[in-house]
Amino acid sequence: MKAFLRTHGKYLAIVMIATAIMLYLWGQINWHILPFSEWDGWHYRKIAEAAPGLSADAREPFRFRVLGSWTVGVLFDDYVLGFKLFNYAAALGVVVGLYFFLCYVRINRPLAAFTAVLFTFNTYLFGVTVWYIFHLNDFLALLLILLGVWAMMERRWAVFAVALFLGALARETWLLLPPTALVFLWERRTLRADLVKMLLATLPAVAVTVALRLFLSLDLPGNLEPMQAFVRFAPKVLTPEFWGRQFGNALKPVTFLPLIFLGTTLAFFRANIFMAVFILLTLVSTLFGSGNERLMAPAFVAFYWLLALIIQRDIWPSKWLLGIIAVGSFVASLHYQQARFPLPSRELTVILGGLAWLMVTGAALVFRLQQWRRGPSPV
């Protein structure tokens, strides 16, 4: 324990304190008023209200996402408090898990902590789910995806099976992992040795998914089957706004860093084709929902791994650029709605986000130009 604390204690403290501050600053949705009272959280509240029984009101697909909502309902008489406490705990778990994962993929500890803190500033991949406390299942799904990716990379198929099984109880995003695992095994040339183990590890998740749909399905007005959802929402892929939201707004203000430091980005994806596939699968999954940026959240593992690698290989030890990235990311987190202290208007949110984008992108371009002028570093 002493060795662990010497190695990680200081950085864990930074990550946890920063996360606690951001949990406070993101605030909480006023779910008593329209339109918030009728958003997806309504279904999760109905599931919690009915626990330990089953809700007769929550529609599909929300009624199948029982891990967080039903558990809160069983454990808490005041289920709103339960959602809040569990959502905060799950959020902290995701951030701490990201820190340890980055350490695992050989990002040095201070930069792993720095990158994990940057994640807490992200409005759509983190902040929205903090603010909308009833989306506990979303954070649980992210935590289980992180665990699943880690277990896959370690080829620990029992842990992979647990992550998928619990993920299937949380929401449908567990489906992103088996095809990603296939690509990973092919890429690492262990398909013959591990394919059967990986397929067996998916069976519990498949079984619970089928069971949920057999035993919890209820013919209710407003139910949305997967193909109905796809037909309704997939046409958004034809709009420029969709692409700007998924890969631009979702990552602001660090959106353009992978392009500015393109060499590291290409090297990352050449070495980790499975992560490119995972991002693509996440993008496809967003065509089954009405949201945009927040539905890209499962890809946070790939995005922040790449960002940490760029920081470590290309930016560190430039403290002035890291400072600009940190300040810009915090400024971009300020919001007119999803905040404890909301900005006075949507327009101001857009202006500040745009300024943060320009500040981070401009500083990174200046830094890159300086690197080019200096030439390659001596080996």
Cα(307)–Cα(304) distance, integer angstroms: 5
Domain boundaries, the chain: 2-374
Predicted structure pTM score: 0.95
Query: Is 102:304 a contact under the CB 8 Å cutoff?
Result: yes
Tokens representing 43 are: 């279904």
pLDDT of the residue at 376 = 60
- The string of pLDDT tens digits covering residues 180-199 is 999 999 999 999 999 999 99
Q: How many CB atoms lie within 10 A of CB 304?
A: 23
Q: What is the mean pLDDT of residues 63-86?
A: 97
Other Cβ atoms closer than 10 A to 69: 32
d(CA 95, CA 165): 22
Residue whose C-alpha is closest to residue 127's, from 101, 172, 91, 84? 91
d(C-alpha 41, C-alpha 58), whole Å: 10
Rounded to an integer, what distance in angstroms lies between the CA atom of residue 164 and that of residue 180?
13
- The pLDDT, as a whole number, for residue 38 is 86
Q: Residue 226 and residue 337: Cα distance in Å, rounded?
A: 30
DSSP conformation class of 252: T
First to last CA, the chain: 38
| pLDDT tens per residue across span 196-236 | 999 999 999 999 999 999 999 998 988 888 999 999 999 99
The proportion of the chain whose per-residue pLDDT surpasses 90, expressed as a percent, equals: 91
The SS3 call for residue 272 is coil
| pLDDT at position 377 | 52
Is pLDDT of 53 > 90? yes
> In the prediction, which pLDDT does 378 show?
45
